[in-house]
Amino acid sequence: MAVVAPAPEEGGPVLAVEKVDVRFGGIHALRGVSLNVSAGEICGLIGPNGAGKTTLFNCITRLSAVTAGTIRLRGQTIETLPPRQIIRMGIARTFQNLGIYAGMTVLENVMLGAHHISGGRFIDALMRPGRSRQREQEIEHRCREILADLDLKDVAGVPAGSLPYATQKRMEIARALASRPIVLLLDEPAGGLTHGEVGEFGHLVSRVRTTYGVTVVLIEHHMGLVMSLCDRIEVFHLGQNLARGRPEEVRANWAVIDAYLGRSR
Ligand code: ATP
């Protein structure tokens, strides 16, 4: 299907986080962290609990404010923009806890993702109902294509809350794709999935990257998934960058092993 994100500028990271600091009162959650993600990459963000991974996602999507530092999407500074603008610029995310509307159908849930960027206003719907209807039909058509791509076509009319957990997770990805993202942020997508489902989920993310041309940043504790899926891994520990590299490099890094085992060498 043809929901391909516009090509990134030549060179330079698509997403660049520079020296970001976040304080919550007395808690120094992020201490000058940096992260560069290239176009089309699947980048893993790992680290022990409390390392600051979700806080960084929250800063990128503007759910948390940075205390210092810069975040750029394709070179454009975004760390002061409102959350809705961030979505429109091309950053979509999923959450650790599923953020679905259980009583709404799968199609309706996914269409919500598209409405974030469609810019439809109540006054327009009132004054120009024909135009508004046409836009709604276009959105529905596109969302049905996404559902077909993600093997969700058969459950389009089913209430989201009645689906198995793994299918709901797939639906969350579909909804994120509906906002035509350049960068897709996935926060612990494998949480709660069975071993077999994790493998399928990995294939899905890989397929989505190729089909939709998105760049993916993935927070994940499931090391099997991270090591098999990611092109590159960034490790956080205690709110700081600890290590980065290809999966095999990170796996062999003693500082990373020690951080996970809670040792200091
Ligand atoms: P996990 O893998 O367990 O999800 P994480 O690496 O995502 O952990 P964060 O959730 O980003 O870690 O938390 C980093 C630190 O910031 C923790 O000490 C956490 O308690 C703290 N923190 C996060 N959000 C807030 C908040 N809104 N108010 C106060 N402290 C917070």
Ligand 1 atom with the smallest distance to the CA of 25 is 29
Superfamily of domain 11-90+181-265: P-loop containing nucleotide triphosphate hydrolases (3.40.50.300)
Cα 21 to Cα 98: distance, rounded to the nearest angstrom: 27
Q: Please name the residue whose Cα sits nearest to atom 31 of ligand 1.
A: 24
Cα 14 to Cα 11: distance, rounded to the nearest angstrom: 9
- Residue 149: what are its φ and ψ, rounded to 5°? -60, -35
The predicted pLDDT at position 136 comes to 84
Ligand 1 atom with the smallest distance to the CA of 57 is 11
Ligand 1 atom with the smallest distance to the CA of 24 is 29
Output the CA–CA distances (angstroms, integers) from residue 114 to 46, 69, 82, 223, in the order listed: 29, 30, 17, 32
Q: Please name the residue whose Cα sits nearest to atom 10 of ligand 1.
A: 54
Q: Please name the residue whose Cα sits nearest to atom 28 of ligand 1.
A: 24
Q: What is the pLDDT of residues 13-67, one digit of tens each?
A: 999 999 999 999 999 999 999 999 999 999 999 999 999 999 999 999 999 999 9
Please determine, for residue 9, whether its predicted confidence score (pLDDT) is greater than 90.
Answer: no
pTM: 0.89
Interacting residues of 37 by C-beta distance below 8 A, sequence separation 6+: 13, 14, 15, 16, 43, 183, 215, 217
Q: Please name the residue whose Cα sits nearest to atom 27 of ligand 1.
A: 24
The predicted pLDDT at position 128 comes to 64
Q: How confident is the model at residue 113 (pLDDT cuts 50, 70, 90)?
A: confident
Q: What is the pLDDT of residues 166-185, one digit of tens each?
A: 999 999 999 999 999 999 99
Q: Please name the residue whose Cα sits nearest to atom 22 of ligand 1.
A: 29
Interacting residues of 77 by C-beta distance below 8 A, sequence separation 6+: 70, 71
Contact 93, 56 (CB under 8 A): no
Question: 200 C-alpha to center of ligand 1: Å?
Answer: 29
C-alpha closest to that of 146 among 118, 114, 119, 168: 114
Provide the residue ranges of all domains of the chain, joining segments of one domain with +. 11-90+181-265, 100-180
Pocket test of ligand 1: the residue of 53, 188, 235, 236 to mutate, having most ligand atoms within 8 Å of its CB, is 53
Cα 160 to Cα 108: distance, rounded to the nearest angstrom: 9
As a whole number, the mean pLDDT across the chain is 89
The predicted pLDDT at position 8 comes to 43
Cα 178 to Cα 115: distance, rounded to the nearest angstrom: 8
Ligand 1: lining residues by beta carbon, under 6 Å: 24, 27, 29, 47, 49-55
Cα 87 to Cα 53: distance, rounded to the nearest angstrom: 19
Contact 113, 101 (CB under 8 A): no
Question: 15 C-alpha to center of ligand 1: Å?
Answer: 22
